[in-house]
């Protein structure tokens, strides 16, 4: 399965410093699901941005 968002982002846009939000899905056993929005990590520039926003969602498993 290909990632449609990856095709939309070119290296030139990444170098221009545009903010793109990537969603990391983490599963917690007791509290449910946690969605963490981060700026993407570009290996060429070695950018490691902190968490922009943390969204907690309660889900019944």
Q: What is the pLDDT of residue 25?
A: 46
| pTM (2 d.p.) | 0.15
**Per-residue model confidence (pLDDT) at position 50:** 59
CA distance 5 to 59: 26
Task: Over range 17-30, report the average pLDDT.
Answer: 46
């Amino acid at each position: 399965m290909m990632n449609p968002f990856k095709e939309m982002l070119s290296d030139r846009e990444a170098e221009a410093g545009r903010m793109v939000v990537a969603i990391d899905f983490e599963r917690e056993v007791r509290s449910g699901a946690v969605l963490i929005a981060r700026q993407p990590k570009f290996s060429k520039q070695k950018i490691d941005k902190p968490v922009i926003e943390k969204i907690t969602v309660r889900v019944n498993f």
